[in-house]
Amino acid sequence: RGFRIELGEIEHALRALPEVRQAVVLHRTDLPGGEPALVAYLVPQGPAAPTPEELRRALRASLSAYMIPARFVVLDELPVNRSGKIDKRALPLPPAELDQDDTEFVAPATPAEKVLAEIWREVLGLARIGVHDDFFRIGGSSLSTVRVSLMSAGRGLTVSVGDLIEHPTIAQLAEHATRAAGAGLPAAVTSEVRLREGTGEPLWCVHPTGGSAAWFVPLARALPPGRPVHAFQARGLLGGVDPSTVTGIAANYVAEITDRTADATGERAPHALLGWSMGANIALEMATQLDRAGHPVAPLVLIEPYLPNPAARARLNGVTDDLRTAWRQRDLIRQLPPSPERDRATAELTATLLGAGMSPAEAALVENAPIEVWHSLLAALAGYEVRPYPGHIHLVVGSEAAGLPRGRTMPGLDVDYDTYLARWRDLAGGGLTVHISEGDHMSMMAEPRVSGIAEILVAIKEGENR
Angstrom distance (rounded) from CA 165 to CA 169: 9
Model confidence over 287-325: pLDDT tens digits? 998 988 889 999 999 999 999 888 888 989 999 999 999
- Determine the pLDDT at residue 143: 72
Model confidence over 196-248: pLDDT tens digits? 999 989 999 999 988 989 999 999 999 999 899 999 999 888 877 788 889 88
Report which residue type is found at 101.
D
SS3 of 438, please? coil
What's the pLDDT band for 89 if we cut at 50, 70, 90?
A: confident
Task: Find the length of the chain.
Answer: 466
Answer yes or no: are the C-beta atoms of 398 and 304 closer than 8 Å. Answer: yes
Average pLDDT over residues 99-123: 79
Model confidence over 254-295: pLDDT tens digits? 888 887 665 454 457 899 999 999 999 999 999 998 988 889
Q: Is a pLDDT exceeding 60 seen at residue 188? A: no
What's the pLDDT band for 453 if we cut at 50, 70, 90?
A: very high
User: Secondary structure of the chain: what % helix, strand, coil (to 5)?
Assistant: 45, 15, 40
Burial call 242-268: b when 16+ CB within 10 Å, e when fewer: beeebbebbebbbeebeeeeeeeeeee
Average pLDDT over residues 52-67: 82
Answer yes or no: are the C-beta atoms of 39 and 19 closer than 8 Å. Answer: no
From first CA to last CA, the distance across the chain in angstroms is: 36
Angstrom distance (rounded) from CA 403 to CA 277: 19
Model confidence over 337-348: pLDDT tens digits? 999 999 999 999
ω into 225 cis (within 30 of 0): no
What's the pLDDT band for 2 if we cut at 50, 70, 90?
A: very low
SS3 of 459, please? helix
- Determine the pLDDT at residue 207: 95
Angstrom distance (rounded) from CA 218 to CA 454: 10
SS3 of 139, please? coil
Answer yes or no: are the C-beta atoms of 385 and 310 closer than 8 Å. Answer: no
Angstrom distance (rounded) from CA 338 to CA 361: 22
Between 3 and 191, where is the model more confident?
191
Angstrom distance (rounded) from CA 398 to CA 411: 11
Model confidence over 366-413: pLDDT tens digits? 888 899 999 999 999 998 989 899 999 999 999 999 999 999 999 888
Angstrom distance (rounded) from CA 60 to CA 58: 6
Q: 389 - beta bridge partners?
A: 428
Report which residue type is found at 111.
P
Average pLDDT over residues 97-102: 56
Neighbouring C-alpha atoms within 13 Å toward the C-beta of 98: 21
Alpha-carbon torsion (151, 152, 158, 162), positive or negative = negative
SS3 of 180, please? helix
Average pLDDT over residues 44-59: 87
Model confidence over 152-175: pLDDT tens digits? 888 788 898 889 989 999 999 999
Q: Is a pLDDT exceeding 80 seen at residue 455? A: yes
pTM (2 decimals)?
Answer: 0.71
What domains sit in the chain, N to C, each tagged with a CATH number?
Answer: 7-89 (3.30.300.30), 111-183 (1.10.1200.10), 192-308+384-465 (3.40.50.1820), 311-382 (no CATH)
Q: 43 - beta bridge partners?
A: 22
Neighbours of 103 (CB within 10 A): 15
Q: Which segment of 176-190, 366-380, 414-428 scores lowest on mean pLDDT?
A: 176-190
